Amino acid sequence: MHIESTGSGPPLVLLHGWALHGGVFAPLVARLSDRYTLHLVDLPGHGYSRDASTPLTLDATAADILSRTPPAPWLAWSLGGLFALQAARMSPQVRGLVMVAATPRFVRADDWSHAVDPAVFLQFGDDLRDDYAGTLERFLALDTIGSEHARSELRTLKDTLYARGEPAPHALQDGLRLLEESDQRAALPSLSIPSLWLAGRRDRLVPAAAMREAASLAPEGRFIEIAGGGHAPFLGHADIVAAEVERFMQLPRVASR
């Protein structure tokens, strides 16, 4: 698995979302690398990890990242949040969680209404088989729709998508399956580390209400809503996200563990 380390200072591990790679965090790297050593993960099947042997499952991927990174807080976007939550359950090596547009459950249920219909992920899986490139572009549009900086964010994501090669089709299907089937809500009440939940008020994939509820379930959870943000607030609202990450990194429970 490819993990790029850059910057200097205390470590921070970053996990990207579905179909992208660690390069998507360039705006945060520009703002944080002078104070932190950033470990930018390319998840299996994505970016420079396209041919990685690690399966894209919660246990295997989380364990591999833990074995290749130092004790640190983890910042995770969207799909990456599932791996971060799993790693926090597995090891005290995860010192804190910054969940960016990420939720313990991505699909709707009778007791979890602030989420997408499970049919959405099934449809994306079907569409990938028929129109790989077109489906990825439609997903990128969903990432940015609603954001006050939607056009510039979409351009950035399109420029980033294939910058490290095409994601492996099997990994995309595996990722969709994780988004459809994973439910980690039961683990939140026993989460023993601080967590920050950063939501975009205009996010069409992970509603802010879901993240507010998730934060309320975590004993040391804190919820922040970015008024003009969509599903990728670290692009159009990078200054806000970086400032909140900096504030979180200075928490005694995060910095001194």
Map out the domains of the chain as residue ranges: 3-255
- Does the 3-255 domain belong in CATH 2.60.120.10? no
Residue-wise pLDDT for 189-226, tens only, equals 999 999 999 999 999 999 999 999 999 999 999 999 99
Among 42, 143, 174, 203, the active-site one is 203
Q: Is 92 exposed, middle or buried (0-12, 13-18, 19+ CB in 10 A)?
A: exposed
Q: How far apart are CA 197 and CA 74, in angstroms?
A: 12
Decide if 78 is catalytic: yes
Could you tell me the pTM of the whole model? 0.97
Q: Could you tell me if 44 and 171 are in contact, meaning their C-beta atoms sit under 8 angstroms apart? A: yes
Decide if 117 is catalytic: no
Please determine, for residue 257, whether its predicted confidence score (pLDDT) is greater than 80: no
Residue 256 pLDDT grade (very low, low, confident, very high; cuts 50, 70, 90): low
Which two three-digit tokens encode residue 238?
């990078």
Among 49, 78, 147, 182, the active-site one is 78
Residue-wise pLDDT for 76-104, tens only, equals 999 999 999 999 999 999 999 999 999 99
Decide if 203 is catalytic: yes
The predicted model gives 38-45 an average pLDDT of: 98
Going by C-alpha positions, the residue among 90, 10, 7 that lies closest to residue 252 is: 10
Q: Mean pLDDT for the chain? A: 95
Residue-wise pLDDT for 7-33, tens only, equals 999 999 999 999 999 999 999 999 999
The predicted model gives 54-69 an average pLDDT of: 98
